[in-house]
Structure 1
Amino acid sequence: MPLFLLLMGGGLFFLVYSGFVPFRYYGKALEVLGRKDDTGAGQISSFEALTSAIASTVGMGSISGVAIALSMGGAGAIFWMWVSAVVGMATKFFEGTLAVMYKGRDSSGEVQGGTMYMITQGLGRRWKPMAVFFSLFGLVGTLSLMQANQLAEAVTTIFIEEDSTMFRVLVGIVICVLVSVVILGGIVRISKVASRLVPAMVSAYFLLVGYIIITNLSVVPAVFAQIFSEAFTFSAGIGGLAGSAMIIGARRAIFVNEAGVGTASMMHGASKNSEPIREGLVAMIGPSIDSGLVCTLTALAILIGGYNATDVKGIQIALQSFQNSIPILGHYLLMVMVVVFAFSTMFTYSYYGAKCTNFLFGARAIKYYNYFYLLMLIVGAVMPLRVMIGIVDSAFALMAIPSMVTLLLLAPKVKKAAKVYFGR
């Protein structure tokens, strides 16, 4: 509940305080996305920053995260994922702007951006303990435990149909080797892969789910009716609100779009964009794609195909639903999407963790972190799902506290810059 109030309430504040920028300037955001600006300090372009940030959010959370939300909170959880997408766009606008507005230098003299630098450069050095707090939990939250776990779950379900720890370990080792090829090349290689991978995978997923919708068009109105009718249902008992569709939908959406968590600011902080507000506009596109478009596609496919969940099963629910809608091929086609989505996130998350390591221990420590990150992919592959969800949600919650406090304190700076930019 505190996290819900902080992120959803804070996002609502940003939406109103910005003058409803996501609604008024979404077209402008799409326009400036393709504008090339290499005059600022950074390592990648704004487009590469956005696609890399989306690569981290349009991942397993967009498939297994939606399935988990449906199994825990029912169809109504999807409505609150939509609400989170809207307020998340406003939050990302402030994140992207401040990430470019306040940059710092690491131990090697390289210009860096992200929540930790927004804190030290924007709020002052006396706030550094809060930056350290953010970075410590950032190391945990960005270990890709969810991605490795659910990818191993999917492969196990498809190929051997029964759980096997040894098989999961083997899958984890394969994941580790494949991810190492990209992440050991640093942010430039990660961004190049993401900028090509993201548009292709979102388009392919749209076509796959589009086929399911078109072939089951008669039940689509009933699916939307179910989402809206269950949006305000609460579980019985004292903990009813905490277990409601509202809280569960918001929790999973936060994991998907990461608005206010602070991860996206690390990627947008690497942009060469010299105009902070323009980077903010680019950043706000993200939630409309991940927790808006892609999560809706997943929810529709699962609700159309039907699912049977008595416990938190994640990716198994999605595989079952796709198989129901597309006999024989359904779960194999989704498996391809799962592999691509999971790897795209693991590539980007490694950069986030490396950035936190850089801030805490210096640039030389990054290579050691990368090895640790790769090892944890194997650990994540065999970790129980419920335990993994608890670890990741807790880490994201603890990252969100310093991130949102920083955004709220520095919001007037964004407001002032936006007035000048839009006036110009």
Structure 2
Amino acid sequence: MRVLVLGSGVIGVTSAYYLALKGFEVTVIDRQPAVGMETSFANAGQVSPGYSAPWAGPDVPLKAMKWLFQCHAPLSIRPDFSLWQLQWMARFLRNCSAQRYALNKSRMVRLAEYSRDCLRELRANTGIHYEERNRGTLQVFRTQKQLAAEAKDIAVLRQMEVPFEHLDPAGCTRIEPALAHVKDQLLGGLYLPGDETGDCQLFTTQLAAKAQALGVQFRQSATIQRLVTQQNQLLGVEVHTGHGIETLEADHYVVALGSYSRQLTHALGLDLPVYPVKGYSLTVPIINSDAAPVSTVMDETYKVAITRFDQRIRVGGMAELAGFDLSLNPHRRATLEMVLNGLFPHAGHVSQALFWTGLRPMTPDGTPIIGQSGARFPNVWLNTGHGTLGWTMACGSAQVLADLIAHDKPAIETQELNNKRYSA
């Protein structure tokens, strides 16, 4: 049975790999010349099930108002002059209650924990390497208010049996010795030992090679022109390649186009609640290994993650609601540099850093959309809307999707993951 996967980012490639393991004949198409060239290219480098949480929380509306007037605010809202932006923000605000936050976080952590286990199994089975580290995530707090807010996250972690350790400043430097010089600026930290790190784009490239060995075909530089439908079936996808226009046909179609999933599926009568949330990163060459982090440090004040690769540091964060704008804002670079230099001065060659931006496909409740698109087009499947946790949730999402398409029972509950929750 043939499956056509639309998108060759980390979600599309993992979907193809797990579908191939199930025995499907899989083809992947993407407009880019190689895999992992958009949102997967330079993300924060985290596989962080313990840090999985929705952006929509009880304190976010007030914080957002304050951030509008701050120079280094983690959130920025710029009108894109679309009704959709306003509708998405309204849905987002409806998820900012304590009850919704707890529900959304619990299902996100459940999927992320499962996904981390799937990644470990994949790594053991394939021998894949991507500058991975298994040293956890350290979330550092600078204010009493941040420490107090930590309690609600710890309650969910306990409920989901996720290991964690609450740390004082001395404990933070035990986990990350290079923080010793800023110990007096920290009030504490939350250490999540089960989290991992690595280069997502390298992982995607390596996994694509493993998928090809299983028979998966990759059609890069193939731009989708339109969907060919008849009654309640998607019959094919018309694409433009270097050889002209052709129509690719399959039995099942998987939409894994990240922020662009909503635009494509409008032709199918779907209204996916996925908005492009713009993020930034710096990739900094290391000049002093002892002054660099050993894993990931999340600065709670600025919502910026600093992640160690072999010879590089990835600094990622920020969130802009500005439509599909991909321009590089120098003020965001200044914030990333400030956080890196504040916590790990002299660790890297900041002047030689690669400055990058990408669009995270975000749902209002933070949970991705995985499963059948609906009754109207039963051969169309969705794997999108992972927000800032695309790589964290990639393997688990792909395994769930492959199980559903193969009519196998997934290892975790999937009812809350499909698009029906937005039509209830």
Question: Normalising by structure 2, what TM-score?
Answer: 0.27
Q: Identify the structure with the greater strand proportion.
A: 2
Question: Normalising by structure 1, what TM-score?
Answer: 0.27
